[in-house]
A and B are shown apart, each in its own frame.
Chain A
Amino acid sequence: MKNLEKFSTIFLFAGLISFLVAFTVLGIWPAFMTDEIKNTAPEVTEIPESFKEYFDDLDDYKAAIFEGRDIYIKEACWHCHSQYVRPVGREHERYGLVSTPGEYQNDLNLPHLFGTRRVGPDLSREAGKRSNDWHFAHLYNPKSTEPESVMPAYSWYFDESVTPPKPKRGAVALVAYLQQLGAWQEGILKNQYDMNSITMPPSPEDQ
């Protein structure tokens, strides 16, 4: 073993190199590979019907989606909700299409919000599944829509001086963000998640 230690400098570089090799081969390389994939989530080109009462200006609506994303981050929603559907565990039946790299190649996913825990359900196919009002009620008091829910209430995004409480800009932005998660899917994008015209396959939860 004394002989082994004579080569300590070589070993030291070996340690650094093994980190750099792993970083290059299993970090940077796949990252660049996926970086070349084209974005499959199309641009938002108009304000959906269901959001016309909150937004007049398209740019304002687009900005709100990003504001909603930032709220999603600062309240750590991503700690309990994931944003990718796996090809296993019958997840396509519960949530919808299996995730592909292309749908994440946009600024809304910088940083990515994959998440590693599902205390609540996956949200990557959330667009159009529920109405805006359902989302407001749920954010204000989750137990009002689902008595057994363990989700915290986010009442500070609502103006409580009026009855019923009115969503502030933050709540509207968050719902705008949630309603476009997976909105590019066929049948949803076309209708811009107008609740009345969407025909979704019945999810197992509703049966």
Chain B
Amino acid sequence: MQAQTNDDHLVSLPLVRAHIFISVAYALLVVLAGLTYSLQFIDLYPFPKFEFLSPGRVRMVHTQSVAYAWLANVFFGIMLYMVPKLTKKSILSEKFGWFCFWVYNALVVGAVVLILGGFGQALEWGETPKILDPFIAVAVVCWVVNILVGSIWRGRKEPYYVSVWYVLAALLWTPLVYVMGNFLPEYVFPGTGGATITSMYIHDLVGLFVTPVGIAMAYYLLPVLMKKPLYSHALSLIGFWGLAFFYPMNSAHHFLWSPIPMWTQYASVVASVGVHVVVYTVVFNIFATMAQDWSKVYENISLRFLFVGALSYLVTCIQCAIHVTLSVQEIIHFTDWVVGHAHLVLFGTFSFWAFAFIYYLIPKLFGTKVFSKSMAEWHFWLSTLGIVIMDIDLMAAGLVQGHMWKGLSPFIETVMASKPYWWIRTFSGVVILTGEVIFLINLVMTYFSNKEKKSQKVTA
């Protein structure tokens, strides 16, 4: 650990802290928007006659904030910490980092306001208003340059740890993916062609940005917290190349049985099943490293978040490889099953890993232990409980809806049959929201308790 504290000067802690704080605040907005939207389904929507808080727009805020406000912010914050530590080179410029931070977050707030004002775009995961898209692309490139040229390129003399591999690939892919998904279907290809590109974008945003950065975080935390080497470095590299090879080809699996050429759909299905390779290497590596000393996993909250996240990752990817087949798609496509799957990926796995990293960073960022351990426990258990209830509930709802549709029940009867599930979904949202509120309070209290300590020191 001594060696680690020595290179603290490489990292701009205030910048990382700003990213973490704003992302946790956004996380609350995400959950709040999602929960509000879910109330529409059980006839309890609180703002029925208020145009700017119409459920459709609130849903766009929910999904956009997950990707661009919460995950992008927290991931870039963590990369700004993790990458300089691994390559022993600082980012290009701290001032440039702050510039990116403010510009990007101004854009995020602008996007939320404009979506509520009625400027949403019709591309899934790309609902950010058309007018903001070019600026967001530029802001992402700024971030990429700062980390890629600063830490990764300048640190190229030494072999990279596998986390750097993942980050490097994610940084190269992300701007390409963003430009592809937000401009081609909007301006170039109408109809089916656009849908082909959109499908690729929906997948690549999760597969080529969120997944590699998330796995990089997990691989960084594991050896540091377990104080044991990673179980297998070779396995982690195989996983990496599996991801680079299979994930980009998954594209059309979001629009199966659509007018997209059938050979494109077949190819995507085959590649999606190939994702198994990636998943098992990652999950096996994580569990095998943990298995060297389970007692640490019981004690350490970060490791426990990592553990549950890895479990969700396993479930979600097995789910993916099964429901991506054309025969299962017939039933579960268009249903709540997919909604449950999305929550398990982005909340159950990657948000959990982000939480794990934030708890690990707290002592470094605030110079003090987390304010309340029991609040952290509550956050962990409420989040876990919430996502387990939500996912089981939505999977069940999806099966009910899919089979009733195929059985040609009148459409409204399938809606009525879904309502009990939607009640449970809202309940799980309340559980998750409670956890998030506790988390934010805990973080703010940690910040202030550190300030108090400092002022006490000064007066003493």
> Bound pair: A and B?
yes
Cβ–Cβ contact B195 & A26, under 8 A: no
Q: Mark A5-42, 1 if CB is under 8 A from B, else 0.
A: 10010011011101101110111101111110100000
- Categorize the interface residue count of chain A: 35 or more
Which of B57, B202, B208 is in CB contact (< 8 Å) with A76?
Answer: B57
A/B pair count, beta carbons within 8 Å: 221
Chain A residues within an 8 Å CB radius of B249 = 22, 25-26
Is A197 interfacial (CB 8 A cutoff)? no
Contacts of A14 in B (CB 8 A): 241, 244
- Are A35 and B59 in touch, CB under 8 angstroms? no
- The reply to whether A113 and B406 form a contact with Cβ atoms under 8 Å apart is no
Which chain A positions have C-beta within 8 A of B41? 119, 150
A76 and B56 in contact, given A1-B233, A104-B192, A111-B121 (Cβ under 8 angstroms): yes
A22 near B257: Cβ-Cβ < 8 Å: no
Q: How distant is the Cα of A74 from the Cα of B194 in the complex, in angstroms?
A: 19
Contact present for B259 and A110 (CB under 8 Å): no
A110 vs B194: C-alpha distance in the bound complex, in angstroms? Answer: 8
A30 near B258 with CB under 8 A, answer: no
B197 touches A27 (CB 8 A): yes
B258→A19 contact, CB < 8 A: no
Where chain B touches its partner, the secondary structure class is helix
B59 and A27 within 8 A (CB): no
Any chain A CB within 8 A of the CB of B448?
A: no
Would you list which residues of chain B between 376 and 430 have a CB under 8 Å from chain A? 402, 405-406, 408, 410-412, 415-416, 419, 422
Q: Are A204 and B241 in contact, with the CB atoms below 8 A?
A: no
Query: Nearest chain B CB to A109's CB is how many angstroms away?
Result: 4
Q: Does A199 contact B (CB under 8 A)?
A: no
Q: Which of A47-55, A57-65, A79-87, A178-186 contacts B (4 or more CB under 8 A)?
A: A79-87
Asked whether B293 is an interface residue with its Cβ less than 8 Å from the other chain, the reply is no
B124 at the interface (CB under 8 A from A): yes
- Please state if B122 and A100 are interface contacts (CB–CB under 8 Å): no
A12, B172: Cα distance in complex, Å: 10
Asked if B320 is an interface residue, CB under 8 A from chain A, the answer is no
Chain B, Cβ-Cβ closest to A82? B334
Contact size range, B = 35 or more
Which residues between 230 and 274 of chain B lie within 8 Å of chain A, taking CB atoms? 233-234, 237, 241, 244-245, 248-249, 251-252, 254-255, 257-261, 264, 267-268
What chain A residues lie within 8 Å of B241 (beta carbons)? 11, 14-15
Return A39 CB to nearest CB of chain B, in Å: 9
A153 touches B49 (CB 8 A): yes
Q: Whole-angstrom distance between the alpha carbons of A131 and B99 in the complex?
A: 55
Output the least CB separation between A97 and chain B (Å).
12
Chain A, Cβ-Cβ closest to B410: A205
Asked whether, in the complex, the Cβ of A89 is within 8 Å of the Cβ of B406, the reply is: yes
The reply to whether B334 and A18 form a contact with Cβ atoms under 8 Å apart is: no
A79 to B54 CA separation, bound complex (whole angstroms): 13
Which of B45, B124, B173 has a CB less than 8 Å from the CB of A116?
Answer: B124
Taking a contact as CB atoms under 8 Å apart, the answer to whether A114 and B258 are in contact is yes
Q: Indicate if the CB atoms of B191 and A150 lie closer than 8 Å.
A: no
Distance between Cα atoms of A5 and B228 in the complex (Å): 22
With a cutoff of 8 Å between Cβ atoms, the chain B residues found around residue A43 in the complex are none
**Given the complex of chains A and B, what is the CA–CA distance between A149 and B43 in angstroms?**
9
Contact B411 A121 (CB under 8 A): yes
Residue in contact with A109 in the complex, picked from B59, B120, B190, B257, CB distance below 8 Å: B190
Expressed in whole angstroms, the minimum distance between the Cβ of A140 and any Cβ of chain B is 11
The A-contacting residues of B in range 143-160, CB under 8 angstroms, are: 159-160
Contact A31:B196 (CB < 8 A) given known A152-B55, A156-B51: yes
Cα distance, A73 to B227, chains bound together (Å) = 51
B273 nearest CB across to chain A (Å): 15
From A15, A25, A146, A156, residue with most partner B Cβ within 10 Å: A15
A19-B208, A75-B56, A86-B258 known; A111-B122 Cβ under 8 A = yes
Q: Are A34 and B193 within 8 A (Cβ)? A: yes
Most interface-central of B119, B185, B202, B255 (chain A CB within 10 A): B255
**CB distance A114 to B255 under 8 Å?**
yes
Given A116-B254, A117-B334, the answer on whether A107 and B59 have CB atoms closer than 8 Å is no
Is there contact, CB below 8 Å, between A87 and B251? no
Given contacts A8-B160, A86-B257, contact A26 B120 (CB under 8 A): no
Q: Is A78 an interface residue (CB 8 A)?
A: yes
Q: Are B51 and A111 in contact (CB under 8 A)?
A: no
Within 8 Å CB of A132, what residues of B? Answer: none
Asked if A111 and B335 make an inter-chain contact with CB atoms under 8 angstroms apart, the answer reads: no
In the complex, what distance in Å separates the CA atom of A118 from the CA atom of B398?
A: 11
A-B contact pairs, 26 of them (CB 8 A): A1-B237, A15-B173, A16-B172, A21-B248, A22-B248, A25-B249, A25-B267, A26-B264, A27-B180, A31-B189, A31-B196, A34-B193, A35-B190, A73-B120, A75-B118, A76-B60, A76-B120, A79-B56, A89-B402, A104-B192, A111-B122, A112-B185, A116-B338, A118-B334, A152-B54, A155-B49
Point out residues on B near A: beta carbons under 8 Å: 40-41, 43, 45, 48-49, 51, 54-57, 59-60, 118-124, 127, 159-160, 168-169, 172-173, 176, 180, 184-187, 189-198, 200, 202, 208, 233-234, 237, 241, 244-245, 248-249, 251-252, 254-255, 257-261, 264, 267-268, 330-331, 333-335, 338-339, 402, 405-406, 408, 410-412, 415-416, 419, 422
Rank and list the top 7 A-B pairs by shortest CB-CB distance, nearest first. A104-B191, A31-B193, A22-B248, A76-B56, A110-B190, A86-B257, A118-B334
Further contacts, 9 of them, CB under 8 A, given A19-B248, A106-B191, A112-B195: A15-B244, A16-B172, A19-B173, A23-B200, A99-B258, A111-B186, A111-B194, A118-B334, A152-B56
